[in-house]
Amino acid sequence: MAINLVKGQTIDLRKNDKGESFDLSSVTIGLGWDVRKTHGGGFLGKLFGGAEEAEYDLDAIAFLLDKNGKVANRGYAKQTANGRTINMFEGDVIYFNSMRHPSGHIWLTGDNRTGAGEGDDEQIIVKLDSLDPKYDRILFLVAIYQGRKNNQHFGMVENAFIRAVDSHGKEIAKFSLSGDSTYNGMCSMTFAEVYRKDGTWKFRAIGEPHSTDSLSELLRNY
Amino acid sequence: MAINLQKGQKIDIGLSKMTVGLGWNPNEGTGYDFDLDVSAIMIDANRLVPQDEFFVFYNNVDSPEQSVHHTGDDPTGGNSDGGDDESITVDLTKVDARIQEILFVVTIHEAQARRQNFGQVRDSYIRILDNQTGAEVCKYELGEDFSIETAIEFGRLYKRNGAWKFEASGVGYKEDLAFFLSKYFKGQIIK
């Protein structure tokens, strides 16, 4: 029996009175948003329009942290066939350029660049029970790709949400990223973490927004 | 017409569905945000919460029988311009039979660390609205009445002979949310 007054922590307070808990043997982090609505072209649009407005491209990100709360393996720089360099490939950061962890136990289902489709547009799936014991905590984040450059922030994106679902498809937590003035000007968010405690995994919702859209900036503390 | 409450004043609310609304203005100066919280503590005849979930606050927004609902945390006061920033809705017809009293408190989150008190917060109030008509039943202006305090016992709904009444407590403390909770909950409180 404990009540937690620390903000940003969800106690395992289920939404029913059966005292159900969540099965965290695997957890899916789902990110969803709607495709940008074009702002009616019309006369003024033609007059002032000009530049094509960029689509909203939200990215789900996961950091696998060790006992010291750090990303131990930052992967390596990989040259792609077309001469691009990809940083942090096959490290302990799961993101659009490195979608599958070498262990195979955590992966990003794909990079959705527009929000097309219903429900979750991007998912990170983690088989928590299979993870190497050296991983103590996984932090899940969401960022708007090039949000600063495109003047985009959560306050503008339609119907954006991030949620966590347990092995049985039961929703553990969900944050709406749209329509909350707290997220105006914010391009990224530390959504939640799962961490090992007393031999089991615990889920904690954080929901802390940040103004940066930069992955390296978000990674700085880890 | 709202009643501006006197301490200890009792009112027959005669409502079954009401909203306790907390409103304040964001900090426009420098320094920390003002993070006010409204919470409801539902207690039984032993003057304790029968189970954790009868403490309705920012980390637990529904009582088990769905009679009391918290609209969610507003960490800055920016939720509404001039209106309620956090609300707790109450449906007295659904309240668990064990519950004898529902206590409403307002606290400033991390007031001590941020060196804040109600006197610094602009246009803060707590009030009760009738959900049927939207009319204001009663109201406290927090900044005037509790300028040096950080925690307020707003009032309590209590059952007498099967009917619910509201008593305005209007007591301020230099305390935090854990202080109120510890009176009615004997388990561990994580701060």
CB contacts < 8 A (A, B): 56
Q: What pLDDT is stored for residue A39 in this prediction? A: 52
Closest approach of A167 to chain B, Cα-based (Å): 23
Q: What pLDDT is stored for residue A2 in this prediction? A: 67
Chain A residues near residue B189 by CB distance under 8 angstroms: 2-5
Closest approach of B54 to chain A, Cα-based (Å): 11
A182 in reach of chain B (CB within 8 A): yes
Q: What is the CA radius of gyration of chain B?
A: 16
Which parts of chain A register pLDDT below 50? Answer: 9-19, 40-47, 49-51
CA distance A7 to B182: 18
pLDDT digits (tens, 9 = 90+) for A178-194: 766 667 888 998 888 88
3-state helix, strand, coil in chain B (%, to 5): 15, 40, 45
B65:A17 CB<8 A = yes
Q: What is the Cα A87 distance to its own chain's centre?
A: 19
B73 in reach of chain A (CB within 8 A): yes
Higher-confidence residue of A16 and B173: namely B173
A11 in reach of chain B (CB within 8 A): yes
**Residue A98 backbone dihedrals phi, psi, to 5 degrees:** -145, 80
- The partner residue sitting opposite B76, judged by closest CB among A4, A11, A182, is A182
CA distance A209 to B135: 36
pLDDT digits (tens, 9 = 90+) for B53-106: 999 999 899 999 999 999 988 888 888 888 899 999 999 999 999 999 999 999
B85's CB contacts (< 8 A; 6+ apart) are B22, B23, B24, B36, B74, B77, B78, B79
Q: To which H or E segment does residue B36 belong? A: strand B36-43
Q: What pLDDT is stored for residue B7 in this prediction? A: 64
A7:B109 CB<8 A = yes
B24 in reach of chain A (CB within 8 A): no
Q: pTM for this one? A: 0.51
CA trace torsion A1, A15, B180, B34 (10° rounding):
130
Report which of A89, A211, A189, A97 is spatially closest to residue A143, judged by C-alpha positions: A189
Q: For residue B74, give the chain A residue with the closest CA.
A: A182
Q: What pLDDT is stored for residue A50 in this prediction? A: 45
Whole-number Cα distances in Å, A174 to A40, A207, B3? 32, 9, 39
A181's CB contacts (< 8 A; 6+ apart) are A155, B78, B79
